[in-house]
A and B are shown apart, each in its own frame.
Chain A
């Protein structure tokens, strides 16, 4: 199905896109038909910088278990990082 449901957020990030490392300003998180991942639906994450053009993008497609492990690992890494070393 086309879920239409998309979480859209403004981000401060860098990503290695087809033209090399670029600043990313936007992200989309959604469940939909993947382009490449071999499943009917997947959890998709796009990091984008629309001002640099459509190819300034890094896309990820993954199954549910991977997405949940990833989310858990991100939070764990943040929680375990020494206080004060990360900017907000």
Chain B
């Protein structure tokens, strides 16, 4: 069913307790719910990812997307902020974890929260979702085509991005990975390496690699959008969240 929602821009405490902007979407017709931290892609805190954030609320979850670029470019449009962030070398892993932790705290403090929180990230946010899952007590982790999870970026990359295989032992939540067979970053070989590493560490995970899809197949406003794959992917996300952070079936009676 589709839930009634509210959605708004808020200010909350991110990394180091500093105030950052976020986009919060809440279902208004459930008594208790799980929550999702939505991690935007490298192009930023944009309309498409706000739409995704609202979508989680329609599924019955509270969802909060931190604006990871807020410190660098407050009040800026998403594309200008992303350009500034890219020029400045991107977001550090430490900042990302702190911002996601701040979002988790806000979501868990909601009177309607069931205490469970998952994360989802797209593109660069896919890696960051996995990273957050390794460093924070997230109950569910969704990685949508995140690169550089299994290997470091080469030293000449201006953005310092390191692989996360050595952090897998600390991973607590179950992982859902959604990837495109035609993607090169991450390649199917790399996502298979990640799956093998998770299995070796006895970490629960469910990976899907879709044929006829490359990178960013969920992006409705980009030519990479693959409607059939995205529809199937959303079904898998809904099933996964119901299993890991569910309880949104408790509806308010009117």
Contact call B76/A4, Cβ cutoff below 8 A? no
Confirm or deny: A66 has a beta carbon within 8 angstroms of a beta carbon on chain B: no
CB distance from B143 to the nearest CB of A (A): 13
Interface size in chain A (residues, C-beta < 8 A): 25
Contact call B88/A1, Cβ cutoff below 8 A? no
Contact call A28/B86, Cβ cutoff below 8 A? yes
**With A and B bound together, what is the CA distance between A85 and B86 in angstroms?**
34
Instruction: Output the residue of A5, A39, A48, A54 with the most chain B CB within 10 A.
Output: A54
Interface size class of B (residues with CB under 8 A): 35 or more
**With A and B bound together, what is the CA distance between A40 and B219 in angstroms?**
10
- Chain B residues whose CB sits within 8 angstroms of the CB of A84 once the complex forms: none
- Chain B residues whose CB sits within 8 angstroms of the CB of A54 once the complex forms: 72-73, 75-77, 80-81, 83-84
**With A and B bound together, what is the CA distance between A37 and B223 in angstroms?**
10
- Chain A residues whose CB sits within 8 angstroms of the CB of B216 once the complex forms: 1, 33, 40
Task: Kindly report which residue of chain A lies nearest to residue B148, judged by CB atoms.
Answer: A4
Interface of B: prevailing SS? loop
**With A and B bound together, what is the CA distance between A4 and B89 in angstroms?**
9
Interface string of A25-41 (1 = CB under 8 A from B): 01010101101001110
- Whether A6 touches B77, Cβ cut-off 8 Å, given contacts A33-B219, A33-B224, is no
Contact call B87/A5, Cβ cutoff below 8 A? no
- Chain A residues whose CB sits within 8 angstroms of the CB of B145 once the complex forms: 1
Contact call B183/A6, Cβ cutoff below 8 A? no
Neighbour of A5 across the interface among B83, B88, B157, B183, CB < 8 A? B157
A residues apposed to B, CB below 8 Å: 1-8, 26, 28, 30, 32-33, 35, 38-40, 46, 48, 50, 53-55, 57, 59
Task: Give 9 A-B pairs besides A4-B159, A4-B161, A33-B43 with Cβ atoms closer than 8 angstroms.
Answer: A1-B215, A2-B41, A2-B42, A4-B148, A6-B86, A6-B87, A33-B42, A33-B222, A57-B80
